Homo-oligomer: A and B are copies of this chain.
């Protein structure tokens, strides 16, 4: 369990201030993000399960309290408050594996101002990282065009939890399994593996190494064929060892871990087929990401399984998801009022108030637009509506939703308790796959994708205009 001291110091100094000034009144915060990572056209939400578990068990440990007391800035009253602190708020969220877009609330937290603030860092930490990895994996799976993805990143991940959380999130995003045994056990994900070069080097010959492995693991043998010379030695030895497996009715694979994957995969495939092993499979690994895999699959490379490590579990060149957590409404003493954050950069202003998110589908079941509505506002099929661009006053469109209208947020926690047991992780994985399939392929393109519409209703637009008016008037 993570300690409640996993928070930024200013959350604690502000919390003490709010309590001293009697300001710990009801508030609503929303978590959303500003832009897709990897220059993509969609993101995949993940990390909710671990977050809910953390929140349900959140408390300050005796060591934390002793440490904070020693800082000399916290009163005995405040330390007692922290000692008794439990998260008692309500929480709504989009489900894990959901396809999500910038500006829309992914999580809504309603509680006292202090508890809402104290969980900010933990909440963002959990969902930012896992959403980054789930999104990356969905992109890699897209590039693999039906080829399977194994997560291989333990040794290059950002710390042990960076590895385990990435194992979890990559499964949500579409990986079929992981090399990480602990992660596989914790999250019920298939554990997979082949052999290392050191195995082959530890035997007198490559052939003996292959045969020893195949004898021990006849149901899960993948020969690593590049230790000496892939085509001159590795594949021929795999064929020899594979014949012994075939006699026992078993199939096998080979793994390419260096050199030109396209050339070696094509040549290996020919050799495997010529030897009658049409049911054998080819695994490729070695510093892969979605761009490299897409280039290879576009060229028709005969690879069945891709082992992806570093760039899958860390995000590679984009190492963080841009999630933020902002005040949507607060009771300043006279009842709940909507809040809005302004910024000179329009991109950094928030949509005001507590919001609903609806996804509108056409009659063929394809997603057409997401709409941010005011709290409690609903959309009716068959009723024409005007939707506005959230930042540009001049852009709007009128439409009559005539397919499914799906609310994305659902209540997941009430009074600090989860509503029901955590759903199986495979459900999130299935959702990701199914929901991505309901978007036009142009939105799923890896580079320069079509930009999916996230719009606001008249009600949100009007609320925004009233804030803007007051802001300009300087009040």
Contact = CB atoms under 8 A, between A and B. Distances in A.
B13 A195 contact: yes
Contact of A159 (B129, B184, B198, B201): B129
Contacts of A126: 159-160
A182 B6 contact: yes
Contact of A2 (B14, B160, B325): B160
Contacts of A14: 195-196, 198-199
B185 A157 contact: no
Interface string A191-208: 111111111011000000
Interface in A150-171: 152, 154-166
Interface in A300-321: 310-311, 314-321
11 contacts: A8-B154, A9-B192, A125-B157, A126-B159, A158-B159, A159-B161, A162-B162, A201-B341, A258-B343, A259-B344, A317-B317
A85 interface: no
A162 B156 contact: no
A291 to B, nearest CB: 15
Contacts of A316: 319
A71 to B, nearest CB: 7
Interface in A195-242: 195-199, 201-202, 212-213, 216-217, 219-220
Give the 5 A-B residue pairs with the shortest CB-CB distance, closest first.
A9-B193, A161-B161, A10-B193, A314-B319, A124-B155
B125 A163 contact: yes
A57 to B, nearest CB: 13
B155 A217 contact: no
A149 interface: no
Nearest to A192: B9
Contact of A161 (B124, B132, B162): B162
A165 B163 CA distance: 13
Given A156-B320, A165-B158, A7 B125 contact: no
A202 B330 contact: yes
Interface string A1-41: 01101111111111011101101000000000000000000
Interface in A132-158: 132, 152, 154-158
Given A8-B179, A73-B217, A128-B155, A258 B345 contact: yes
A384 to B, nearest CB: 37
